[in-house]
Structure 1
């Protein structure tokens, strides 16, 4: 039986890594993938390890996590190769037949481990991508990212504001325009099932449902995910209707981040609906929304005017977001 190893940071995993691992697992009978991470790296090591496990689940590939704080270049420590050998030996098959890599270090690593080196796409002619390029411009390299990794880099846009200001329609229209997907407002789903009733204990259900729907649909998004409301707006509604908000919902609202918020103003007609409650108080509600966005230091754009004017302003704002490299 032949054995092999792939070692990498996978910062983040991309289709070049997938090709390397797929090549290796078809080359040998037993393959071990070592995800080597450092605590200071920009994407948590545990997440990268879980991504790799997900990507190769059911293939017979063994994925292990090496999170020791090891030197990253021979110039950093006189015993560089010994330290790496000592760290790898307990994780890999003995004997090890092959080391697979798309980097030149593979020659020396294979020698240290007593294995043969098999180089795979070192010139990046098959998969012209690297972790550095992805981190610098993830949207430009979108097609090289597995779905689980795409969800990490997807730009999230929240459509935010008072009732009857076109949020749901706008989110759907933007999703169609950008060939992506919109997250529906979970509060509407729940309240409609209760014939328009809402009680204080429903707030946590609404928050859980909204967050779960957003995270589930992030993998289906094409670079940008449009969210019809978010948990910060849920906290505003909870305060407005019930004079308070559960601590867990407030904490989660602070934790979740959005790259852009589209705040819809109230300069459009009110449309009656069984899940709308404040026909006379939309202006005050709008002011509260803007105050909370500012307090949470959210990047936002106010949408005013006709439906077409709002849509065009929103498209311009999203285009600008997708053009950013930060």
Structure 2
């Protein structure tokens, strides 16, 4: 009968953010005991909201019991004379009283196990197996991108939208930028959908386009390498809906307002128009009017944008320069 008793262990941490070192720790615990409790601890003043860290850990470790402790209690032994008693009560309340093992990569694990009446199992205290820390990631997430768990990467991801009138090279630009930065790009969902309608867009297609493009962006956000490039955006969808049908569902406008981009590249209509079976505006005046409307809407939403002009490699080089500047600016802000 003794063999039927489940061995139970606990891991506590801030996981700010979750990284490969945490993955090793949790999977070590899962292979050591029958049931592992992962206690995500947070307080209000921390730089990454606790509820996000809790969600990331639950997503990445579906077979662990992940719980969220967000009570404002002492964080260091020097903060309160009853520090260890307070934490004993907290761990037992959130993880249960039947804890046999404590797993950690820091020295506090010895004392925590002692007060819980559990066995301490040290795991990679030297950090030699996975040489990373959450502090290093927060200081420069791009430099340590491969160590961030996929569930947390969208939080640090930089998003770049590529918008403009017809025949301005948006698709080519998105693909070339993705290739240059070794990442992925979100292709225009409308194009794939309208391939099944001979390029004809009707009013009922607009919600399908909006939902499809948003879904594609969020799906690819976990695959992207530091930067995600999007061939068009929901703001452009609202503009086209207004132009074609004199109307746009309010929920799509709301989605467009809430859509976050760190940079928008607005491509000028200084390239010749080419008919590909899905284009409506062969006249220069029409394309210029759409360009001006996109520019106006971007400014209304106070979205950072840069106008990209030129042709061929000079057009691509101008875009790369702006993306580099955006990445460098954000990196410097984090270091400060």
TM-score by length of 2: 0.90
The corresponding residue for 2:301 is 296
Q: Secondary structure at the match of 1:220?
A: coil
Q: In the aligned structure 2, how far is the partner of 1:268 from the partner of 1:57?
A: 50
The corresponding residue for 2:3 is none
The corresponding residue for 1:95 is 98
Q: Secondary structure at the match of 1:298?
A: coil
The corresponding residue for 1:137 is 140
Pick the aligned partner of 1:115 from 114, 118, 129.
118
**1:39 Cα deviation after fit:** 4.1
**Count of aligned pairs between the two proteins:** 324
2:178 paired with 1:153: no
Per-residue displacement from partner, 1:239-285 (whole Å, max 9, x unpaired)?
A: 22222321111111111111111110011101113221122211111
The corresponding residue for 1:322 is 327
Pick the aligned partner of 2:291 from 278, 286, 292.
286
Q: Secondary structure at the match of 1:196?
A: coil
Q: In the aligned structure 2, how far is the partner of 1:206 from the partner of 1:41?
A: 38
The corresponding residue for 2:187 is 184
Q: How does 1:18-97 map to 2 (within 5 A)?
A: 18-58=23-63, 61-97=64-100
**1:124 Cα deviation after fit:** 2.2
Q: Given that residues 3 and 93 in structure 1 are in contact (C-alpha distance below 8 angstroms), is that contact kept between their aligned partners in structure 2?
A: no
Per-residue displacement from partner, 1:43-95 (whole Å, max 9, x unpaired)?
A: 3323322222222224xx32222232333233434433333222221332443
Q: Given that residues 67 and 95 in structure 2 are in contact (C-alpha distance below 8 angstroms), is that contact kept between their aligned partners in structure 1?
A: no
Q: In the aligned structure 2, how far is the partner of 1:207 from the partner of 1:39?
A: 35
Pick the aligned partner of 1:196 from 199, 205, 210.
199
Question: What CA RMSD, in Å, does the superposition of the two structures yield over aligned residues?
Answer: 1.9
Q: Given that residues 167 and 264 in structure 1 are in contact (C-alpha distance below 8 angstroms), is that contact kept between their aligned partners in structure 2?
A: yes
Q: In the aligned structure 2, how far is the partner of 1:292 from the partner of 1:77?
A: 53
2:25 paired with 1:13: no
Q: In the aligned structure 1, how far is the partner of 2:82 from the partner of 2:206?
A: 57
**1:183 Cα deviation after fit:** 0.7
**248-257 or 64-73: which moved more?**
64-73
Q: Given that residues 165 and 287 in structure 2 are in contact (C-alpha distance below 8 angstroms), is that contact kept between their aligned partners in structure 1?
A: yes
Q: Indicate how the Cα distance of structure 1 residues 51 and 189 shifts in structure 2: closer, same or farther if over 3 A, else same.
A: same
**1:190 Cα deviation after fit:** 2.1
TM-score by length of 1: 0.92
2:169 paired with 1:166: yes
Q: Secondary structure at the match of 1:148?
A: coil
**1:40 Cα deviation after fit:** 4.3
Pick the aligned partner of 2:131 from 109, 123, 128.
128
Q: Secondary structure at the match of 1:4?
A: strand
**225-234 or 235-244: which moved more?**
235-244
The corresponding residue for 1:223 is 226
**1:196 Cα deviation after fit:** 2.3
Q: Secondary structure at the match of 2:151?
A: helix
Q: In the aligned structure 2, how far is the partner of 1:81 from the partner of 1:102?
A: 18
Q: In the aligned structure 1, how far is the partner of 2:97 from the partner of 2:253?
A: 51
What residue ranges of structure 2 are gaps of 5+ in the alignment? 1-5
Q: Given that residues 189 and 212 in structure 2 are in contact (C-alpha distance below 8 angstroms), is that contact kept between their aligned partners in structure 1?
A: yes
The corresponding residue for 1:254 is 257
